[in-house]
């Protein structure tokens, strides 16, 4: 998590982060008994309203809006929303509840966070120091090539961490997590250098899944009950299982991580979600 700015650097009061976007995950169940009491025409009109609210290209839509069909009983569908303005993000939930189907929607879980550049992502200077520590000669052709490649990657990495594009992959998973404060395994008492080393190892495990899984870590310290939110997208659901299992063996996870509930879902349009949930027939 980034450190707070010095007092002299404080920006004017605003809801807009100095960098990054607000991010909310919402999960909903349909009240089946309530739906049975609604006239058929009201369900059709409510479905049309819901589809309009969840249109990513709508005039009132946040910068990023993704709908998915949740696997299991914890929810019927999920939304992932991102925008610089938190009220624009939250307005999707309010507009959804204000539709004619709103009385039959049960919010089952939500998570509030902000995108960030992790303090464990090395600067260009730190990356150069890492290369030297790994045996590269500072200033050598190989050193310069690797440093230049990292500099070019860093621009894309920053964008994807702060203002990400959602990949068009079919499977996604969300879970909240904390870093442990247990006696003998308190992450927050470790020296910065040790935390950096552990997160470097953790990051290398994740890189083995490049092209199969992409990840977004958002920070929720001071915003929600957990400290971070993890969103994964995968080309195939089995890769979600594979990456989580692989990374559990890293010390940063095995010793210092605590996990909340997992929500696995499959990307869809609002129309597809309503049909899947048997709210509409097509």
The yes-or-no verdict on residue 4 having pLDDT over 80 is no
DSSP 155-219: HHHHHHHHSPPPP--SEEEEEEEEE-EETTEEGGGS-HHHHHHHHHHHHHHHHTTTTTEEEEEEE
pLDDT at res. 1: 61
pLDDT at res. 158: 86
Comparing 167 with 1, which gets the higher pLDDT? 167
DSSP 218-260: EE-TTTSSSSEEEEEEESSHHHHHHHHHHHHTSHHHHTTEEE-
Indicate the pLDDT class of residue 2, thresholds 50, 70 and 90: low
Give residue-wise pLDDT tens across range 47-91: 999 999 999 999 999 999 999 999 999 999 999 999 999 999 999
Average pLDDT, the chain: 93
Indicate the pLDDT class of residue 10, thresholds 50, 70 and 90: confident
pLDDT at res. 6: 60
Q: Which domains does the chain have, with CATH numbers?
A: 14-115 (3.30.70.1030)
Give residue-wise pLDDT tens across range 129-181: 888 888 888 889 888 888 888 887 888 888 999 999 999 999 999 999 999 99
Give residue-wise pLDDT tens across range 43-57: 999 999 999 999 999
The yes-or-no verdict on residue 7 having pLDDT over 60 is no
Indicate the pLDDT class of residue 241, thresholds 50, 70 and 90: very high
Percent of the chain whose pLDDT exceeds 70: 96
Q: Which of 222, 230, 239 is nearest to 258 (CA)?
A: 230
**DSSP run (H or E) holding 275:** helix 270-276
pLDDT at res. 102: 98
Mean pLDDT along residues 121-131: 79
| Residue 175 appears among annotated catalytic residues | yes
**DSSP run (H or E) holding 176:** strand 171-179
The yes-or-no verdict on residue 8 having pLDDT over 60 is no
**DSSP run (H or E) holding 177:** strand 171-179
Indicate the pLDDT class of residue 204, thresholds 50, 70 and 90: confident
Indicate the pLDDT class of residue 126, thresholds 50, 70 and 90: confident
Query: Which of 28, 109, 120, 175 is flagged as catalytic?
Result: 175
Percent of the chain whose pLDDT exceeds 90: 75
Mean pLDDT along residues 102-109: 98
Residue where the block lists tokens 């935390």: 195
């Amino acid at each position: 998590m980034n450190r707070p700015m010095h007092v002299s650097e404080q920006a004017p009061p605003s809801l807009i982060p100095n960098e990054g976007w607000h991010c909310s995950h919402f999960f909903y169940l349909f009240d089946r008994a309530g739906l049975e009491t609604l006239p058929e025409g009201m369900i059709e009109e409510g479905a049309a309203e819901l589809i309009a609210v969840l249109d990513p290209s709508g005039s009132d839509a946040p910068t990023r809006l993704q709908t998915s069909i949740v696997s299991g009983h914890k929810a019927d569908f999920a939304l992932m929303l991102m925008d610089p303005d938190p009220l624009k993000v939250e307005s999707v939930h309010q507009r959804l509840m204000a539709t004619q189907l709103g009385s039959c929607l049960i919010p089952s879980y939500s998570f509030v966070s902000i995108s960030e550049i992790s303090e464990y992502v090395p600067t260009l200077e730190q990356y150069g120091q890492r290369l030297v520590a790994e045996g590269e000669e500072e200033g050598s052709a190989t050193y310069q090539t690797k440093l230049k490649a990292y500099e070019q990657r860093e621009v894309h990495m920053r964008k994807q961490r702060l203002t990400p594009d959602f990949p068009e992959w079919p499977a996604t998973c969300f879970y909240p997590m904390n870093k442990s404060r247990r006696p003998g395994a308190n992450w927050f008492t470790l020296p910065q250098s040790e935390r950096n080393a552990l997160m470097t190892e953790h990051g290398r495990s994740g890189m083995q899944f490049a092209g199969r899984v992409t990840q977004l870590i958002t920070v929720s310290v001071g915003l929600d009950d957990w400290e971070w939110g993890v969103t994964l997208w995968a080309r195939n659901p089995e890769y979600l299982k594979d990456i989580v299992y692989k990374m559990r063996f890293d010390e940063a996870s095995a010793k210092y991580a605590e996990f909340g509930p997992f929500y696995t879902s499959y990307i869809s349009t609002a129309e597809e979600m309503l049909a899947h949930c048997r709210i509409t027939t097509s």
